[in-house]
């Protein structure tokens, strides 16, 4: 047994008791295992909610906005009095928010100043294959020996860049809340966990014409859970995730990693001061594996406080009111909450009803003042093309289950674990298809390139959280979800996968080639 493996086993043993505990509390709502912190949790509701800075283009021309992002390790101050080493886009967690205009090309040059290869994926982007962050198309570290990585069997088959890469986004898509994150083969879980995630918003005229809350009344909320070691560093099951492919080691946290400190925009249980007016909240679940059921406490009179205006792929045709929001990893819910239902002085907590104790709350809103409010949520929000499943020519069935290749435990789709060289489907561009996702346990399923519409869940109508254009859908244990999808424009290799990042890293991805 080598040194690093022994260290890993030590860590795994240390988390055993916590894992058992987690087993009682969250087994039904989560497919995941708790990674417990080694230090007491910070007191909730002590720090202001950070808002990630909006990045300025380094240059623009008639058609394109150009950005440069440096990926580097920095110290973040997440817990009081402690430094946490993170990997950050521009050294930040969350990374800077990039804002694109629909129809204007965005080019982001990523410079890799980290010690490890990276791949950048724009989640929700309608992106040509060579800029989609295929897991073996990595950017090698700027300051390193590139040959070191050419021996990696997977990577050497990819399209390697040394030090930096230009990602080109045509942005020929409607306004929506996208996000960008790491997608490196086998290491997406640990690299996102250490901080590689940020918002990328697309705006367009249709949405801008609506009288929705805007400016400082439009708030991005990136929800993640993390755990910390005594020295303030992030705790993740292994320092070297490749070890998770070893037989016998693989089963620790293969269910998915959940933490015991709630972070919103990178801060633990933060507070946002609000006026007693409507706010637009762009909620993203960027957690590796945790699902949430969000609710407000106290509930305003009349109930159903979340007015959903958009999903993963932008505006809904008309708003939907919810009492709670069920959100799985990678999903986005764009909601308007009217704080005029509360009086100045009141505190409203965003709860997570899937958990009790401290993971049962997320962020707090403090109503500090009254202000004038001209915003309104119109009954009709956007033009919406409803896909007609009767026109589909092809139906494909994808089964998400536990997997095994030889001694390697992992997760499989249709019985096979991911192989970046194997294309599991060849959808024709422009043709409507029905994809059926079936599960053993919880699996949030994500499709690259084009959004889909949920047409059925468990053989019945779609659920309350399935509305609109989506790119990720939460498939519950022993359930199947049918979606209608039409890939357009770009031919090449793309991915469909489980967005529980530990499942993803342990094989639950499938490559398809659009033709």
Judge residue 421's burial from the number of C-beta atoms within 10 Å of its C-beta, 0-12 exposed, 13-18 middle, 19 or more buried: exposed
CA distance 105 to 82: 40
Does position 448 interact with ligand C2O (CB under 6 A)? The reply is yes
Q: 501 by DSSP, 3-state: which? A: helix
Does position 126 interact with ligand C2O (CB under 6 A)? The reply is no
Provide, rounded to whole angstroms, the least separation between the CB of residue 22 and ligand C2O.
24
Does position 126 interact with Cu ion (CB under 5 A)? The reply is no
Provide, rounded to whole angstroms, the least separation between the CB of residue 464 and ligand C2O.
23
Nearer to Cu ion, 443 or 470 (CB): 443
Site string for ligand C2O, 94-123 (x = CB under 6 A): ---------------------------x-x
Residue number of the CB closest to ligand C2O reads 123
Report the DSSP beta bridge partners of residue 416.
413
Provide, rounded to whole angstroms, the least separation between the CB of residue 151 and ligand C2O.
26
Q: How many residues bind ligand C2O (CB under 6 A)?
A: 10
CA distance 119 to 160: 10
Does position 322 interact with ligand C2O (CB under 6 A)? The reply is no
**Residue matched to tokens 């021996």:** 151
Provide, rounded to whole angstroms, the least separation between the CB of residue 258 and ligand C2O.
18
Determine contact, residues 288/237, Cβ cutoff 8 Å.
no
The correct pick among 448, 457, 470, 493 for binding Cu ion (CB under 5 A) is 448
Closest CA to 367 of 434, 300, 451: 300
Judge residue 246's burial from the number of C-beta atoms within 10 Å of its C-beta, 0-12 exposed, 13-18 middle, 19 or more buried: middle
For β-strands 306-311 and 332-338, DSSP reports them as: antiparallel
The correct pick among 110, 165, 183, 244 for binding ligand C2O (CB under 6 A) is 183
Stretch that binds ligand C2O, among 106-114, 331-339, 400-408, 492-500 (CB under 6 A): 492-500
Provide, rounded to whole angstroms, the least separation between the CB of residue 34 and Cu ion.
17
Provide, rounded to whole angstroms, the least separation between the CB of residue 324 and ligand C2O.
24
Q: Is the dihedral of CA 275, 281, 284, 290 positive or negative?
A: positive
Site string for ligand C2O, 186-205 (x = CB under 6 A): --------------------
DSSP letters for 357-398: GGGGEEEEEEEEE---------S---------GGG--EEEEE
Does position 497 interact with ligand C2O (CB under 6 A)? The reply is yes
Cα–chain center distance at 506: 17
Does position 282 interact with Cu ion (CB under 5 A)? The reply is no
The correct pick among 412, 413, 495, 511 for binding ligand C2O (CB under 6 A) is 495
C-alpha distances in Å from residue 27, one per residue of 5, 21, 167, 193, 356: 28, 10, 39, 21, 13
Could you tell which of Cu ion, ligand C2O, none binds residue 486, using a CB distance below 5 to 8 A set by kind?
none
Closest CA to 136 of 118, 112, 116, 111: 118
Footprint on residues 324-353 left by ligand C2O (CB under 6 A): 330
Stretch that binds ligand C2O, among 159-167, 221-229, 244-252, 491-499 (CB under 6 A): 491-499
* Residues in contact with 375: Cβ distance below 8 Å, sequence separation at least 6, in sequence order: 211, 212, 213, 214, 217, 277, 278, 336
Point out which residues bind ligand C2O (CB under 6 A): 121, 123, 181, 183, 330, 446, 448, 495, 497, 499
Point out which residues bind Cu ion (CB under 5 A): 123, 443, 448, 498, 500, 503
């Amino acid at each position: 047994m080598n040194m690093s493996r022994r260290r890993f086993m030590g860590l795994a043993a240390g988390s055993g008791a916590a894992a058992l505990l987690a087993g009682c509390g969250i087994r039904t709502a989560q497919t995941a295992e708790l990674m417990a912190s080694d230090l007491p949790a910070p007191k909730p509701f002590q720090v202001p909610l950070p808002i990630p800075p909006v990045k300025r283009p380094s240059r623009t021309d008639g058609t394109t906005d150009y950005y440069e992002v440096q990926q580097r390790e920095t110290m973040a101050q997440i817990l009081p009095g402690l430094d946490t080493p993170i990997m950050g886009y521009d050294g930040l967690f969350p990374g800077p928010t990039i804002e694109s205009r629909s129809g204007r090309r965005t080019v982001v040059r990523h410079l890799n100043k980290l010690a490890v290869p990276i791949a950048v994926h724009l989640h929700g982007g309608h992106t040509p294959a060579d800029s989609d962050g295929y897991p073996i198309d990595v950017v090698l570290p700027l300051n390193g020996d590139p040959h070191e990585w050419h021996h990696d069997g997977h990577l050497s088959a990819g399209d390697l860049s040394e030090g930096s890469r230009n990602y080109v986004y045509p942005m020929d898509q409607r306004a929506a809340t996208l996000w960008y994150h790491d997608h490196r083969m086998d290491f997406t879980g640990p690299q996102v966990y250490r901080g590689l995630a940020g918002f990328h918003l697309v705006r367009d005229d249709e949405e801008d014409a609506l009288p929705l809350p805007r400016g400082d009344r439009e708030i991005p909320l990136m929800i993640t859970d993390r755990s910390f070691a005594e020295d303030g560093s992030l705790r993740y099951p292994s320092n070297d995730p490749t070890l998770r492919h070893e037989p016998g080691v693989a089963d620790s946290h293969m269910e998915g990693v959940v933490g015991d400190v709630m972070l919103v925009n990178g801060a633990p249980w933060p507070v946002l001061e609000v006026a007693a007016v409507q706010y637009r909240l762009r909620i993203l679940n960027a957690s590796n594996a945790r699902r949430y059921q969000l609710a407000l406490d106290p509930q305003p009179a009349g109930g159903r406080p979340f007015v959903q205006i958009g999903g993963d792929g932008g505006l809904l045709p008309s708003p939907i009111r919810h009492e709670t929001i069920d959100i799985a990893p990678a999903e986005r819910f764009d909601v308007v909450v009217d704080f005029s239902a509360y009086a100045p002085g009141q505190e409203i907590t965003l709860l997570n009803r899937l958990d009790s104790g401290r993971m049962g709350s997320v962020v707090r809103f403090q109503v500090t003042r009254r202000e004038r409010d001209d915003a309104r949520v119109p009954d009709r929000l956007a033009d919406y093309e409803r896909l007609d499943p009767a026109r589909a020519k092809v139906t494909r069935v994808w089964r998400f289950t536990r997997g095994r290749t030889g001694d390697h435990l992992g997760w499989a789709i249709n019985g096979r674990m991911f192989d970046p060289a194997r294309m599991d489907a060849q959808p024709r561009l422009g043709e409507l298809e029905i994809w059926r996702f079936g599960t053993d346990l919880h699996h949030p399923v994500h499709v690259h390139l084009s959004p889909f519409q949920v047409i059925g869940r468990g053989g019945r109508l779609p659920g309350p959280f399935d509305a609109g254009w989506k790119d990720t859908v939460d498939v519950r244990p022993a359930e199947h979800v049918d979606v209608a999808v039409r890939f357009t424009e770009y031919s090449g290799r793309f991915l469909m996968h489980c967005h529980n990042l530990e499942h993803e890293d342990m094989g639950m991805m499938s490559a398809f080639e659009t033709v």
